Amino acid sequence: MEPSSRSALDVLGCRDCPKDRAAFVPTEAAVRCPACSVVWPLGPHDAVNSLTQPAESVVREIDGMRSENPSRYPTRDSFLFQCVERVSRFEDRIAGEANAAKNYYESTALNFRYAYDKLKITGSERVLEIGAEHDFPFLKPFRENGCDCYATNLFFCYEATRPPGAQVVLGDMNRLPYRNEMFDVVVASATSHHSPDLPGLLAELARVTRPSGYLLLLNDPTSGAFKHALDRFGFGTQLGGSRHDLVNENEYSVAAYRRLAKTAGFAITESFFPVYYDQKLRSGNVRGVRFAPLAKLVSLAWRIAPLRWILQKTALYPAQMLIGLELNMILRKRNMMEAIQRN
């Protein structure tokens, strides 16, 4: 194991072992839990593979993604570690031809940037991103500030000679391979809706987040009462879009997110209006967005600053509940003192 990866040994943890037990120890091309003796093999760039006994939902997700590219990933193992000539860069996707995918990536980046700017990062933080894009674009500003960065996903797409820019740990978001309260910031973009168990996921995210640490839940679709009402006329978006059936595509209501986050121990710092739609509505050019006629109408009011302010404050939650506008939330884990004062 490279010296740079050694600090990961203190962070790793199997969930059922006690919080105060000793750190993982390196063995031959693997790391081992001293309490229960579970062994997680090391892959390229010292990526840790904790998916040795994957849960059913993980196997489904992996097989679904494999089925979208059947010739590329003949076996599950070939999917976990994907060596490529060039990892696809987020900048390239945004710079690409104008299409729905480009809009999507641009939109996720705008929302991330909005949330990142609220955090006031000092550089001493330990940061985890779950379900990151191939080149970890949302870890980049943290890394450039000097933060210690971790990335957990179901696969690792890498170049043989290019360091990935984060300590990679393949793992299940519903059963994170980390000790309690290890991270100052946890980022999950377009990821939480892939969990089959939202209450369990939020409890798990709270478990690995430090008291007063932040959780960014970004770019998740939500369920809306009328979201799929026009699907059969070709106006809406099918649940999960064009993804393979095995991929876990769920939609949870924003009410469920809010309630479950609070139950798990988070306070909602901010739930914000998608930045991309804000820009679209300000410009009045709403071509290509869902519910375009409605958006056109809203944009008339949106361009009047005081009306926009009122709508941003009051219309986000109803829009999420009715048409499933995406979720973007900055959550902060309550610390013990706050919890005691509340009770």
Residue 17 interacting with Zn ion (CB under 5 A) = yes
Question: How many angstroms separate the CA atoms of 109 and 218, rounded?
Answer: 10
Residue 23 interacting with Zn ion (CB under 5 A) = no
Residue 264 interacting with Zn ion (CB under 5 A) = no
Only one residue has tokens 């933060």, namely 147
User: Please, what is the minimum distance in Å from the beta carbon of residue 32 to Zn ion?
Assistant: 9
Residue 246 interacting with Zn ion (CB under 5 A) = no
Task: Single out the segment in contact with Zn ion by CB under 5 A; choices: 17-25, 203-211, 266-274, 302-310.
Answer: 17-25
Task: Single out the segment in contact with Zn ion by CB under 5 A; choices: 2-10, 31-39, 228-236, 331-339.
Answer: 31-39
The amino acid that residue 251 corresponds to is E
Nearest CA-CA partner of 157 in 186, 138, 140, 135: 135
36, 122, 249 from 213: Cα distances, Å: 29, 13, 28
- Backbone Cα Rg of the chain: 21
Bridge partners of 48, per DSSP, are: 42, 169
Closer to Zn ion at the Cβ: 12 or 109? 12
Nearest CA-CA partner of 55 in 194, 243, 244, 187: 194
User: Please, what is the minimum distance in Å from the beta carbon of residue 14 to Zn ion?
Assistant: 4
Residue 11 interacting with Zn ion (CB under 5 A) = no
Closer to Zn ion at the Cβ: 35 or 65? 35
Count of residues that interact with Zn ion, criterion CB under 5 A: 6
Q: Which of 8, 11, 31, 33 binds Zn ion (CB under 5 A)?
A: 33
Task: Single out the segment in contact with Zn ion by CB under 5 A; choices: 35-43, 77-85, 213-221, 330-338.
Answer: 35-43
User: Please, what is the minimum distance in Å from the beta carbon of residue 171 to Zn ion?
Assistant: 14
Residue 35 interacting with Zn ion (CB under 5 A) = yes
Closer to Zn ion at the Cβ: 14 or 80? 14
Closer to Zn ion at the Cβ: 38 or 267? 38
Element at 93 (helix H, strand E): helix 90-95
User: Please, what is the minimum distance in Å from the beta carbon of residue 33 to Zn ion?
Assistant: 3
Nearest CA-CA partner of 213 in 189, 248, 181, 188: 181
The three-state secondary structure class of 337 is helix
Q: Which of 11, 14, 58, 109 binds Zn ion (CB under 5 A)?
A: 14
Q: What is the torsional sign of CA 245, 247, 163, 74? A: negative
Task: Single out the segment in contact with Zn ion by CB under 5 A; choices: 9-17, 93-101, 110-118, 139-147.
Answer: 9-17
Element at 270 (helix H, strand E): strand 266-271
User: Please, what is the minimum distance in Å from the beta carbon of residue 21 to Zn ion?
Assistant: 7
The amino acid that residue 263 corresponds to is T
User: Please, what is the minimum distance in Å from the beta carbon of residue 191 to Zn ion?
Assistant: 25
Give the alpha-carbon dihedral of 203, 104, 228, 201, to 10 degrees.
-10
- In the chain, % helix, strand, coil (3-state, to 5) comes to 40, 20, 40
- How many residues does the structure list for the chain? 343
Closer to Zn ion at the Cβ: 38 or 315? 38
Question: How many angstroms separate the CA atoms of 80 and 200, rounded?
Answer: 24
User: Please, what is the minimum distance in Å from the beta carbon of residue 34 to Zn ion?
Assistant: 8
Closer to Zn ion at the Cβ: 27 or 212? 27
- Residues 36-75, one symbol each (x = binds Zn ion by CB under 5 A, - = not), give x-x-------------------------------------
Which residues bind to Zn ion, rule: CB under 5 A?
A: 14, 17, 33, 35-36, 38
